[in-house]
Amino acid sequence: MHQQLRIAGHGSLPQQAAIPAAAVPEMCSRDVWLASSYLESVQWELDAAHESLLQAVRRAAEAGADPRELCKAANITPGELDDILKPGTQVATQAAS
């Protein structure tokens, strides 16, 4: 019996039909390809969410938000906040890592 590939916390990939034993290597390749494709699409979403967070943090800082409250709300350290606020800096925060 072929089990559906599940992604922890995110449900299942599309159901695949029962596959004959001779096709198991091909099925495994397909499962790997599907999981890889799913991971890539989730990574794109994560990257977009991370960029939105950075922009929101920058706007809040420019508006005069308290740095301690900003760090708490964004789940970042003061050092990460400093990095985010440096012009032209690409930042990988722990919250997004």
The tens digit of pLDDT for each residue in 35-81 reads 999 999 999 999 999 999 999 999 999 999 999 999 999 999 999 99
Alpha-carbon distance of 57 to 81, in angstroms, equals 8
DSSP state of 48: H
pTM over 0.95: no
Confidence tier at 88 by pLDDT (50, 70, 90)? confident
Domain boundaries, the chain: 28-85
